[in-house]
Copies of this chain bind each other. A is one copy, B any other.
Amino acid sequence: MGTIVALGGQVGGAKLADGLYRLRKRKLTVIVNTGDDFEHVGLAFSPDLDTMLYMLAGLENPNAAWEPRGETHRLLEMLRMVGGPDRIRLGDQSLAMPILRSEGLAAERTLSEITRGFCRHLGIKANVVPMSDDRVRTQLLTHEGAVSFQDYFLQLACEPVVTGFQYANAAEATIPDAIVDALRAPDLEAVVICPCNPYHVVRPILEIGGMRELLRKQGAPVIAVSPIVGGGALQGSAAKMMLELGREPQARSVAMEFYKLIDGFIIDQVDADQAEGLRASGIEVLVAPTVMRTPNDRIDLAVQVIKFARQIAEIKAEA
């Protein structure tokens, strides 16, 4: 049984990572987007990292998987009373990691180190690693100017037309050692791009200097799972962004975003009619149920991903 590297963020990314984790435990490394990290009330928020940790620790709220179960908002109520900002709905439990992260960063510990500490205490055996310990910030270019995803999502309610993206400092940022080691492991079996927004979750990871080359370095199959099912995003604003960027909001368009990088692409059964066209473009395609409603769905999809990777490895070996 080889090792696997998954990459992504958001709820969809965390769900597939969780499925892979149930199968591979410490043989899984997850590279998490930090391009949407932000500062608020003086604290360092890493929403994709935190979502990933709650999910892998089994703490996620089934109805709002970006936060822990049974979240309360007592601190936020007091924050409002004393004149603090309430545009971000801070949860009580959800503030623990940002507080310790801020303290750690101020003491010059790296984000990787801090994240490793959280994993150890939460009993997470997988290696969860931020895409870089350097600060990278994704900006959505819109008709109303450049904005962070947080502001686009919360302040602007995803309304402005998105015309492009900027990944400030991505090219200069360095890849943490734990990622380099995982991607150079001789037993690397697959690299999995999880189903999440291709523009502000996957792309920032790919834009880190040297990341694309490193992902293909061992020759392990690179597989992506479509975040677009039936012409829409399961969660979030990916489909809207695709339309505004002049792309058809379909699974096949996502495959084209990763064209040079991936060996295989997994689309949902409802999009089965797109398989042939993709294959004609030279991409291996698997049609499978990709919507992860239950924890078991996550494992089922992970099994499919690994099987598919093995098939591709065999095809590659024969070629």
- Residues in A lying within 8 Å of B, measured CB to CB: 41-43, 53, 68, 70-72, 74-79, 81-84, 92-97, 99-100, 102-103, 106, 117-118, 120-122
A-B CB contact pairs (8 Å), 18 listed: A41-B103, A42-B106, A43-B99, A53-B82, A68-B78, A71-B74, A74-B74, A74-B92, A75-B93, A78-B93, A79-B100, A81-B122, A82-B97, A82-B121, A84-B96, A84-B99, A92-B92, A95-B95
A21 to chain B, nearest CB (A): 18
Considering the chains assembled together, what is the distance between the CA atoms of A37 and B97 in angstroms?
Answer: 23
A92 and B75 within 8 A (CB)? yes
Partner of A102, one of B42, B100, B120: B42
Residues on the B chain within 8 Å of A81, using CB: 96, 121-122
Considering the chains assembled together, what is the distance between the CA atoms of A122 and B84 in angstroms?
Answer: 11
Residues on the B chain within 8 Å of A93, using CB: 74-75, 77-78
Considering the chains assembled together, what is the distance between the CA atoms of A77 and B122 in angstroms?
Answer: 12
Residues on the B chain within 8 Å of A122, using CB: 81-82
A43 to chain B, nearest CB (A): 7
Residue of B nearest to A93 (CB): B78
A41 and B72 within 8 A (CB)? no
Considering the chains assembled together, what is the distance between the CA atoms of A81 and B43 in angstroms?
Answer: 19
Q: Rank and list the top 4 A-B pairs by shortest CB-CB distance, nearest first.
A: A42-B103, A83-B121, A78-B96, A74-B92
B121 and A96 within 8 A (CB)? no
Considering the chains assembled together, what is the distance between the CA atoms of A83 and B103 in angstroms?
Answer: 13
With A118-B82, A121-B81 as contacts: A75 and B102 at CB distance below 8 Å = no
Residue of B nearest to A96 (CB): B78
Residues on the B chain within 8 Å of A84, using CB: 96, 99-100
Considering the chains assembled together, what is the distance between the CA atoms of A100 and B79 in angstroms?
Answer: 8
Residue of B nearest to A73 (CB): B92
